[in-house]
Amino acid sequence: MATKTEIRRQELRDKLILIAERTIAHDGLSALRARDLAKDAGCAVGAIYNVFGDLTDLALAVNARTFHRLGADVAEALADAPEDPVEQLIVMAQAYHAFAAGNHLSWRALFDIERAPGEAAPDWYLQEMGQLFTYISDPLAVIFPGRDAEELALLTRALFSSVHGIVLLGLDEASAGVSTEYIDRMIALVLRQFAASP
Amino acid sequence: MATKTEIRRQELRDKLILIAERTIAHDGLSALRARDLAKDAGCAVGAIYNVFGDLTDLALAVNARTFHRLGADVAEALADAPEDPVEQLIVMAQAYHAFAAGNHLSWRALFDIERAPGEAAPDWYLQEMGQLFTYISDPLAVIFPGRDAEELALLTRALFSSVHGIVLLGLDEASAGVSTEYIDRMIALVLRQFAASP
DNA sequence: TCATTTCAATGAACGCAGTTCAATGATAGG
DNA sequence: CCTATCATTGAACTGCGTTCATTGAAATGA
């Protein structure tokens, strides 16, 4: 049964995630502080630890939502993309870039939580990642019909990592607002060049 | 004149950098603690702040040395590389990977110090980065003789970022020791494919 | 050489984090 | 309605980077 306590727990959980989401988006992961969180949520600091193991667990809950939004953005871009598989790759990669640029601090938080060495990635992470990889490998299979599954998987990972690297280093020095255009050009350059000779 | 005080200052500086280098290499940037440092160096905690503005300055001094070692490794690999420009790119990228894998925590520290938004990157960073970019753009100019300077610069940045991304995400899940081989294969795949149609 | 000034070295103390836990208060079951 | 249970509380604990009044050594000039 759903006891009164359980309901309050769930409500506090949701409220904390919402506040943490706002905090991370505005001021970054490092601005997530237990006392501020408690004040904003109208609860005691200890209450946070009844609902989350620690602040990292809360941040991971936020990351799960962020990753989900990211996946949705990429999926939407793919749905509106032309049929040409190379253009599909470019559109998705630029959607990835647009999300990272428009949600910079939230996106950074996705990678700024280091899990202990040897610890497996969370399930939702693998899930969403697998979805993204499918979006990529489908057009790749059209572009490179001769390659076997293992090579396609390697290509998929490699391309995702490449786009991620371009966006990561590009946004790092995006103090001037100039670089957004350059990042999109780099993405298109790499992907077009990459797919030019099947 | 070199006063006794200045000599002691310099000696302490060097000793602290050495200890910090060891600490970061063994246990990562987050293991750099003022009190441990002082104990290991045989000085008071306050003495650290006579020589470095704060612990970040010390970590940056370590990073400068790490980046220099990285540049030297890549340069050495390039010196031993065959004449074919594509192979040169691959050899350098794999040397980058080898350095990152063999100096994982030190290499991570290069990117884990976030500078304040709007703040320019340190001079030594731009210097070494420019050197690396030259190593890349030279073979690229041979592979793509038709492209103009701006496009070559963009290609250079894009390729560096791509390799960086492949190594970064690859090493992240290198809990199992399997992935080293996969990372090298992804690098070769991307670079060969990229350079296949000039 | 010695007196005096100057400035480096010290480490206890400060502020600010995350996290804990004994005391308190509300809730669920009889 | 009573009572056992368990959630909630916030002061206290720990550990961190950093500071600063005090101490002591080094440089300076007579």
Considering only residues 70 to 129 of chain B, which have any Cβ-Cβ distance to chain A shorter than 8 Å?
117-118, 121
Angstrom distance (rounded) from CA B159 to CA A159? 11
Q: Does the pLDDT of residue B49 top 90, yes or no?
A: yes
Q: Does the pLDDT of residue B175 top 70, yes or no?
A: no
Across the interface, whether the CB atoms of A175 and B117 are under 8 A apart is answered yes
pLDDT at B186: 97
Q: Does the pLDDT of residue A196 top 50, yes or no?
A: yes
Structure tokens, B145: 């003789």
A109 and A66 in contact (C-beta within 8 Å)?
yes
Which range, of A52-56, A112-116, B117-121, B136-140, averages the lowest pLDDT? B117-121
> Could you tell me the pTM of the whole model?
0.95
User: Which of A29, A155, A194 is most worth mutating to test chain B (most B CB atoms within 10 A of its CB)?
Assistant: A194
pLDDT at A2: 55
A74 and A135 in contact (C-beta within 8 Å)?
yes
Segment A3-24 shows an average pLDDT of 90
In the DSSP assignment, the letter for residue B122 is P
Say how many residues make up chain A: 198
Phi-psi region of B122 (alpha: psi -120 to 50; beta: other; left: phi over 0): beta
Q: In chain A, which residues have their Cβ closer than 8 Å to the Cβ of B151?
A: 189
Segment B126-155 shows an average pLDDT of 96
User: What percent of chain A stands above pLDDT 90?
Assistant: 84
User: Residue A93: which of B93, B136, B158 has the closest Cα?
Assistant: B158
Across the interface, whether the CB atoms of B186 and A157 are under 8 A apart is answered yes
CA dist B151 to A32, A102, A155, B144, B145, Å?
Answer: 41, 26, 24, 10, 11
Residues 6 or more apart whose Cβ sits within 8 Å of residue B15: B41
Q: Which nucleotide is nearest to B34 (CA to C1')?
A: D17
User: Which of B112, B161, B194 is most worth mutating to test chain A (most A CB atoms within 10 A of its CB)?
Assistant: B161
Residue A198: strand, helix, or coil: coil
Tens of pLDDT, residues A132-158? 999 999 999 999 998 999 999 999 999
Tens of pLDDT, residues B78-112? 999 999 999 999 999 999 999 999 999 999 999 99
pLDDT at B4: 67
pLDDT at A57: 95
